[in-house]
Amino acid sequence: MLGIDLEKADSGSSDLQLVAGYTTRALSQLVLRTDISGMPLEWIDYKEAARLYHQEQVAYTCGSPLFKLYGGVSALTGFRTVLEVNSIVATVGHTGNPGNTRQDYVPPLNNQTLFRRDAHFCLYCAQRFPVRELSRDHIRPFSQGGRDVWTNVVAACRRCNNLKASRTPEQAKMQLIAVPFTPTYAEYIFLKGRRVLADQMEYLRAHFPRHSPLHARIKRYLS
């Protein structure tokens, strides 16, 4: 199964990196956990997934089988226990997912997700940069009452950030190439992903708002 590698995109020259099928079977592949109603919750590793299966917290699975985990020999049957873990698991109970219960939920702001939101572009000079060369620019600077919120921050290269200094884009005569947005919970989960498999991506996309700019970006890689 194909997937998209967001970690590779952090260090490199392109937006979302497509990864080949065989690498997606590695144990490092994360599983998408949802609640019982199918709302995305979080990424979990295979150990956490195994724990949920064993504690019978997995209500149903979606996506495709990812890997088989071999346990001990069952005293009852004499057979070795095998656990097949799927790429998406729906679990019982609610673990207080604020993104699904509150309309006004705002995901925490951090540079990794911010740079991914902006596809690693400097939103002023429209060049793409690796993460280490990007910085968080406050569109309206602190000194002019700007706040540290999703809609007031963009990825900017250091050169543009220095050039703009403590001015608004209008004052600096620098134009933004895109409108900054606050990710919804599902968008945030996607942006926080490491390597997102095609089926996980389709699943998350179904929860994105219709106007999400992420649709077009993802489509380019999965067509």
Residues in contact with Zn ion by CB under 5 A are 122, 124-125, 157, 160
Q: Which is nearer to Zn ion, 31 or 155 (CB)?
A: 155
CB of 8 to Zn ion, least distance (A): 22
Q: Which residues pair with 61 in a beta bridge?
A: 89
CA distances from 187 to 39, 40, 208 (A): 12, 10, 6
Nearest approach in angstroms of CB 133 to Zn ion is 9
Q: What is the three-class DSSP state of 99? A: helix
Quick check: 152 and 180 in contact, CB under 8 A?
yes
Nearer to Zn ion, 125 or 222 (CB): 125
What is the 8-class DSSP label of residue 15?
S
CB of 159: closest distance to Zn ion in angstroms? 6
By CB atoms closer than 10 A (0-12, 13-18, 19+), residue 7 is middle
Q: Which is nearer to Zn ion, 132 or 211 (CB)?
A: 132
CA distances in angstroms from 113 to 47, 116, 189, listed in the order given: 25, 5, 9
- The DSSP bridge pattern shows strands 17-19 and 58-73 to be unpaired
- Give the amino acid at 76: L
Min dist. Cβ of residue 164 to Zn ion (A): 9
Q: In terms of CB distance, is 125 or 172 closer to Zn ion?
A: 125
Q: Give me the least distance between CB of 183 and Zn ion, in Å please.
A: 22
Please identify, using beta-carbon distances, which residue of 153 and 197 lies nearer to Zn ion: 153
Lookup result for tokens 């390597």: 195
Structure tokens at 39: 């709302």
- Name the β-bridge partners of 69: 83
| Smallest distance, Zn ion to C-beta of residue 7, A | 23
Beta strand pairing call for 3-5 and 195-197: antiparallel
Of the two residues 89 and 157, which places its CB atom closer to Zn ion in the complex? 157
Nearer to Zn ion, 177 or 206 (CB): 177
CA 207, 210, 211, 215 dihedral sign is positive
